[in-house]
Each structure stands twice: as C-alpha cells, then as structure tokens.
Structure 1
C-alpha cells in the first residue's frame, strides 16, 4: 500500500498554486472585460487576460512534463472508485483546458485582428488571417469552455475541501 499522505514536491506544489492564483485572477477578469463598456479598463483587462492565458498555457506544458517524470502518490484505497474516476477525469479536463482554451483564445484573437502582448514583454505571432466571423465563433467556444472550466475548478476546490475538512484522508494536505 502506497503512502497516500506523501506530499507533492515543492516544484509541483509551487506550479499548482501559481496556476491556481493565475486562474483565480484571469477568469474574473475575463468575465468582467466582456461585460463592461469599451475604454482603458476593458483594454487593460483584455491585455491581462490574454497575457495570463499565454503564461498558463506554457506553465501547463511544463507542469505536464514534470508530472510525467514525477507522478503523484495514489489516491487512498478507501476512496470510492467513482471518486477516483471523477478526480482523474477532472484533472484531465483541467490540464486539457489549460492547453486548449488559451490556444483557442490566441487563435480567436488572431482572427479578430488584435495583437497579444504578453505583459508588454513580447508580442505573440498571429496564427490565422483576419476573419471576424470566424473570430466570433471561436470566442463563443472559448467562452463556453471557460464556463465549463470554471465549473470544473469549483468542483476541484469543493472536492479538495471535502477531503481536507470532512474526510480528513490526507488528500488535501498533499498539496498544501
């Protein structure tokens, strides 16, 4: 029986919490930016949202590479099979989203004809020709995926709190 109380490495925990911080700032910025009128605040939110999205995409590639070489300890044997499945499925979705949706946002932004300046340090290349109709379609998909992602993040947080506060089975403490 493996030690389910084995903590994630400092690198894994750091990447996890950096990702969490970025997601918990980027998602609200994205929701606000599409609901306020044009102007400098909206432009700043778009720049922030796009910059964080690009950084998250790169960070996720690094995180997946690290995870492949440093697998986490198994979940507790006492955890029902459906919860183990849900945990794995949620993680697959979260990782997939953090790769696909920022790329989709980059694609949609390129089709819109806008530039993505990553925190003013460099500008991402355009990856598709300007096409406003396609851009609108891609942004709609980006939004729907973002809402699904938000639901998955809330489920992930709820499950972590359940395991840490109610079950007290060591699952949450591995990442803290």
Structure 2
C-alpha cells in the first residue's frame, strides 16, 4: 500500500477544489446577469475567491516543495509517470496564472479588486479597455485549459481506482491515514 498524502496536503488539495467549484460558476453567473448591483457583487465575490485560490496555490506549492508526494506505483509506465508530473506542474502554473490574469484584466478595465471588502489589491496598470479585453480573453482560455486538465486529472484518478485498482486515488481522500508528514529538510536546518 502506498503512503497517503498528509493532512496538510489533503487540505490544500480539497480547499483548492472547493475554490474552483465556487469560482467557475460565479464567473459564468456574473457574465450572464444584467448590469447592476447583483453583477457587481458577483464580480467582487469571483475576484475574492480567485485571490484565495492564488494564496492557496502559493502555500500549497511551498508545502509540496518541502514535502514530496508519495511515489506513483512502480509498475506505472514511464510515459504515464511523466504525464502525471507534467499535468501537476501545469495545474500549479494555471492556479497562479489564471488569478493573476483576472487581476490584471480587472485592473486594465479600471476595476479595483476588493478581497471580501477587507482590503483592495493594488492597481498596477493604467486603464486600457482594449488591453483589458485581451487579458481577460487569456483569463477565460486559462480557465478552459484548467478545466480540461482537471478533467484529465480526475479521469486519471478514476482510472487508477477502477481499472488499475491501486491506491493512487485513495491516498488523497479525506480520512485516509498514511505516513506522517515530514519535511525533506535536515532536522537541524
């Protein structure tokens, strides 16, 4: 039986999933309601959750760099191991890139990003609606790409569980206990 992910890694994973499950429908809804207070509130909530996803991705990446994941099954073909590794790193890249593009697109549009009304992100660029449309188009394509990779990731996890009948999916499920989380750093570092 392969070692399970630790509680912290699982929390980062499932909180990120929750964020995506919330932010994508908000994005769709905000573009499909008419202008007004409801749309403004949806935009604010969408941007706030996007900021949380960015922070989670940063914390998650720092955690992963010091707490490597359990190894994949030894009998997994090399190309599948490479594909899994590449997919994970592209997912990380998109978890950073998509929120940054949303923030920049909002900034170019002239809309400040307030995070749950607690603070406002700086506006790093001058207003330019033409650039905003381009940046936000890249934001949307990033979301579509992220969605496709999440579907691939889910499909691979289900393949491991139902076809290969190995432990790859089970080790990320809540409640599964494995080896305790340890840093790769030397204990005196």
TM over 0.5: same fold?
A: yes
Q: Deviations over 1:59-86 (max 9, x none)?
A: 1111111101000111111212222122
1:38 aligns with 2:35: yes
Q: Tell whether the 8 Å contact from 1:75 to 1:171 is kept in structure 2 after alignment.
A: yes
How many residue pairs get aligned? The number is 173
Instruction: Tell me the distance in 2 between the aligned counterparts of 1:163 and 1:41.
Output: 43
User: Which of structure 1's runs of 4+ aligned residues deviate more than 6 A?
Assistant: none
Write out aligned runs for 1:75-94 (5 A): 75-94=72-91
Cα distance in 2, alignment partners of residues 18 and 143 from structure 1 = 21
Among 59, 62, 65, the residue aligned to 1:65: 62
1:102 aligns with 2:102: no
Greater CA deviation, 76-85 or 107-116? Answer: 76-85
Write the distance in 1 (CA, Å) between the matches of 2:156 and 2:36.
39
- Segments of 5+ residues of structure 1 without an aligned counterpart are none
What stretches of structure 2 of length at least 5 have no aligned partner?
174-189
> Alignment RMSD, CA only?
1.2
How far apart are 1:29 and its partner, in Å? 1.4
Return the structure number with greater relative CO, CA threshold 8 A, min gap 6: 2
8 Å Cα contact 1:111-1:135 kept in structure 2: yes
Query: TM-score of the superposition, structure 1-length normalised?
Result: 0.93
CA offsets per residue over residues 116-164 of structure 1, 9 Å max, x none? 1111111111111111111111001111111111111111111112212
**In terms of Rg, which structure is larger?**
2
TM-score (norm 2): 0.87
Shift of 1:92: 0.9
